[in-house]
Amino acid sequence: MTTVEYGSQNGRRRVAITGLGAVTPLGNDVATTWQSLLAGESGAAPIAQFDASEFPVTFACELKDFDPTQWIERKHARRLDRFAQMIIAAARQAEADSGLEIAKEAERVGAAIATGIGGIGAFQDCYDTLIHRGADRVNPFSIPAIIPNMGAGWVSMELGTRGPLSSQCTACAASNMAIGDGADAIRLGRADVMLCGGTEAGITRVGIAGFGAMRALSRRNDDPARASRPFDAERDGFVMGEGAAVLVLEELEHAKARGAKIYAELLGYGVSSDANHITEPDPEGSNPARAMKMAFADAGVDPTEIGYVNAHGTSTPLGDASETRVIKLAVGAEVARRIPVSSTKGATGHCLGAAGAIEAIFTTLAVQRGKIPPTINYEVEDPDCDLDYVPNEARDADVRVAVNNSFGFGGHNASIVVRRYDGD
């Protein structure tokens, strides 16, 4: 048990962000991803993981040249679903970036790792084998490869964490919730360090066919790079993405005691539910707005202090108009029009359960580096979307406090507040 004397914010232990790791459609590390994002690049291209030529949607935002054996022993990697391979890679990057020595205090280090679907590729392979080759030919590693909690399980086993371990499975809000839950574990004294994030590998035959059948996906097969266009009047659905991201959260005094670099402070967390529809957002926007307000209250900040919102902004007709209403309800219409709002899903696509964590990294870097990433492919104004969406070009800005929104199927809503760290 640690003997560090802990600092507090409003009587609570404070939470610093001290490490970042990611594999995304824009790059297989944080630096490459961030550079590509600021440059306005798109990760969308024709699907390479399977032959999608007969599918209504033939493109997605896939990882490029991802080699899991950089992070995992080859024989072991073959037993894992892609969602587990990706989160191990992101977690190892985050651990290295933080400079932590987890083995020295493993019982005080935990993990909260989210996913929306889990091992859908392994499930698809298991079913194919069962139908075409018989029950006795099913891979004995199938179930551990499929179940959603094994993203968290493998992070714990690979990195040796022995503190709190959880797996959030709340659709597209999942990894924002993992970050908030991890912060709460630190605040409550259950851990000193939490590895928090999410992973998703849904670009499979089942994934593309299923979301395509819902008419949730853009069908701009002739122009993938311009298909994801959040808040644009001509948006026609989201682009499926994949990836993983991990943030190292650490009790502030613990981080300072070991001389860690501190990217930012995780200041507030809010959650709510819509109780409305299996896929459609709250039509009034009051419930996701409540999550934002809860995050502001938890952080102890006034809406006028918000310098940037990383929107959920999926590029769906209903979702983007709804989120515009949500932001106005949360901060007031006049204040909302002064806040830069961008959706980075124009570049990464929608990474489902990993989206919140990937975007939390973008939000963290925005406050640390004074750069707001753009909403790419924004060309035609929509009267229902009338905020400052940082169109097409990154923007220099002195952002002290920023918000990351994530809203998921089933009415799951989560917002986190990040503040620049300037010392005590």
3-state SS, residue 18: strand
CA torsion through residues 3, 7, 12, 16, sign:
negative
Identify the H or E element spanning 16.
strand 15-23
Dump pLDDT digits (tens) for 197-209.
999 999 999 999 9
Report helix angle 120-133 to 82-98, nearest 10: 150
pLDDT for 8 equals 45
User: Taking residues 372-384, what's their average pLDDT?
Assistant: 98
Does residue 54 sit in helix, strand or coil? coil
pLDDT digits (tens, 9 = 90+) for 299-352: 999 999 999 999 999 999 999 999 999 999 999 999 999 999 999 999 999 999
Look at residue 5 and tell me whether its pLDDT is greater than 90. no
Q: How many helices (H) and strands (E) does the chain have?
A: 14, 14
**CATH architecture, range 269-419:** 3-Layer(aba) Sandwich (3.40)
What pLDDT is recorded for position 12? Answer: 84
Contacts of 151 (CB under 8 A, 6+ apart): 83, 84, 87, 113, 114, 115, 118, 167, 198, 199
> Where do the domains of the chain lie?
15-257, 269-419
Q: Quickly state the pLDDT bin for 191 (edges 50, 70, 90).
A: very high
Q: How confident is the model at residue 279, as a pLDDT?
A: 79
Of the residues 61, 169, 172, 351, which is catalytic?
172
CA 124 – CA 133 distance, rounded (Å): 14
Q: Which two tokens stand for residue 313?
A: 């902004």
| pTM score | 0.95
Q: Which of 61, 350, 351, 385 is catalytic?
A: 350
Query: Could you tell me how far CA 275 lies from the centroid of its own chain?
Result: 23
Mean pLDDT for the chain? 95
Residue 9 has pLDDT above 70, yes or no: no
| 312 has catalytic annotation | yes
- List 196, 312, 385, 412, catalytic entry: 312
Q: How far apart are CA 18 and CA 9, in angstroms?
A: 18
Q: Is the pLDDT of residue 150 over 80?
A: yes
Pairing of strands 341-342, 412-420: unpaired
- Residue 6: pLDDT above 60? no
Instruction: For 18-74, write each residue's pLDDT tens digit.
Output: 999 999 999 999 999 999 999 999 999 999 999 999 999 999 999 999 999 999 999
- Fold observed for domain 15-257: Peroxisomal Thiolase; Chain A, domain 1 (3.40.47)
Report the percentage of the chain scoring pLDDT > 70: 97
Whether pLDDT at 119 is above 50: yes
Residue 124 buriedness (CB in 10 A; 0-12 / 13-18 / 19+): middle
Same fold, 15-257 and 269-419: yes
Positions of E strands within 184-327: 193-200, 243-251, 264-273, 306-310
